[in-house]
Structure 1
Amino acid sequence: MPAKPLIGITTYLDPAKWGVWDMRAALLPEVYPRLVRAAGGIAAMLPPDAPAVAAEVVARLDGLVVAGGADVDPLRYGAERDPRTGPPATERDAWELALIEAALAAGTPVLGVCRGMQLLNVALGGTLVQHIDGHTGGLGVFTRHTVKPVHGTRYESLAPDATTVPAYHHQAVDRLGDGLTASAHAEDGTVEAIELAGAGWAMGVQWHPEMGEDLRVVEGLVRAASS
């Protein structure tokens, strides 16, 4: 039996309390590794580290998931901060951008989820819409809406029909980064999936597949990481 591919998933550092402990911890909702396992991969958590070691880390992985989370610092794409944009996650931005760049350089399959999709776009020179009114649920509440694939894209080959997805966000892709194609849209025109043209496998989705039952996008990543 062939070995299951090792899929790294980015985490973030936040204050946390458990038992008698109260300290900063590397956090990741457990639905992410559960999704990777359900899609046929082995999950490895990647806490923020020095960007200089990103290529060494990626060299040990078969695939990479950049998880959702805090807003990307607008300085990363040369924009002034909208007052509705969250506080910068400087350490995380630097680490995840380095991982994305290393994965793209090495041809390692990469999937960006929500923030991860936005960061993939920024890594390739794109920009973001910093706030979309009415395009997210309340605090911690996921909404569901329809996304439609763009004909001829890799995403369409995974999900050929319109799909209802769980979503929670207030930012979105604006100008696409170099080599990226929009491969799905919401009914209001918001870019909901992006992918990199060419032989490599790099995709981002604006929604949160880990909060639903649809494995197709992550299965696509795992298949690419197995080849």
Structure 2
Amino acid sequence: MAIIGILGTPYNTVEQSPFWWNKVSYTRQSFIDVFQDLGHTVIILPVDKTENIKNYLTLVDKIVLTGGADVSPYLYGEEPNAKLGTTDPIRDRFELATIKAALEANKPILGVCRGLQLLNVYFGGSLYQDLSQTSSQIKHLQSPTPQEIPTHHISVEKESALGFLPENYMVNSFHHQVIKDLGQGLTAIAHGNDGLVEAIENKEKHVLAVQWHPECTWETEHFDKKIFEIFANGTI
């Protein structure tokens, strides 16, 4: 059994908060459910002072970086694009420090959506701040289609951690930022039919990240469930 540390998503807009004007750190129930279904324990790690990170890491075996706000473009040397969404510098800073500490402690990391993007930036890569900066004609922000429904295809490198996925696999999609320049030491292991990066890995450092949201589909798409299984069971 592994103890999975999921980095909490901060809800900082207190004037619109459903939590009685309180700031909270939360995660999707589906992240908790999939790991518990696989026989593992989950701890939600709140966004906190960076000096507390090493103490948190003593509690967990692995780290999960989830979705959320746009990554600040200042982290990869760009000014904000007109279509940049909400950013959270406090979360960026805490999660980047957590990535650094987890890598130093040799703890595996799984990134989902924003998690993939932040990992790419940590390793020195950059992002397209909005899909309008690319030539893609694929709808990567699939709303109002429900999140549990796959909507576009990807191709996967067969010698990668995701090599078990079928050819021309379908995934869901809820993002408007994508990888531009790939970070140092990372390998792009899945692409959309538009050529955009959909998954990355660093085998040596036990890092795996996907752009889609398998936590929304694991109950109906067993291949998406297997992503969590290979991560939690230590096969990446």
TM-score of the two chains, using structure 1 as the length reference: 0.89
Rounded to whole Å, the distance in 1 between the matches of 2:45 and 2:25 is 9
For residues 143-166 of structure 1, the C-alpha deviation after alignment (integer angstroms, 9 at most, x for no partner) is: 62112111321221x425332112
On the 8 A contact 2:102/2:109 being kept in 1, the answer is yes
Matches within 5 A, 1:123-138: 123-133=122-132, 134-138=139-143
Q: Does 1:204 align with 2:209?
A: yes
For residues 96-153 of structure 1, the C-alpha deviation after alignment (integer angstroms, 9 at most, x for no partner) is: 1111111111110100000000001111111111111442123685462112111321
Q: 1:189 is aligned with what amino acid?
A: G
For residues 47-82 of structure 1, the C-alpha deviation after alignment (integer angstroms, 9 at most, x for no partner) is: 101122222322321111101111000011111111
Structure with bigger strand share is 1
Q: 1:221 corresponds to which residue?
A: 231
RMSD over aligned CA atoms reads 1.9
SS in 2 for 1:40: coil
Rounded to whole Å, the distance in 2 between the matches of 1:215 and 1:152 is 19
Q: Does 1:35 align with 2:34?
A: yes
TM-score of the two chains, using structure 2 as the length reference: 0.86
Once the two structures are overlaid, the 10-residue window that deviates more, 158-167 or 48-57, is 158-167
2:165 aligned to 159, 162, 166, which one? 159
Q: 2:195 corresponds to which residue?
A: 189
Rounded to whole Å, the distance in 2 between the matches of 1:40 and 1:109 is 18
- Sort the Cα spacing of 1:140 and 1:31 in 2 relative to 1 into closer, same or farther, 3 A: farther
On the 8 A contact 1:40/1:222 being kept in 2, the answer is no
Rounded to whole Å, the distance in 2 between the matches of 1:99 and 1:109 is 12
On the 8 A contact 2:5/2:60 being kept in 1, the answer is yes
> Unaligned stretches of 5+ in structure 2?
133-138, 219-223
Shift of 1:7: 0.3
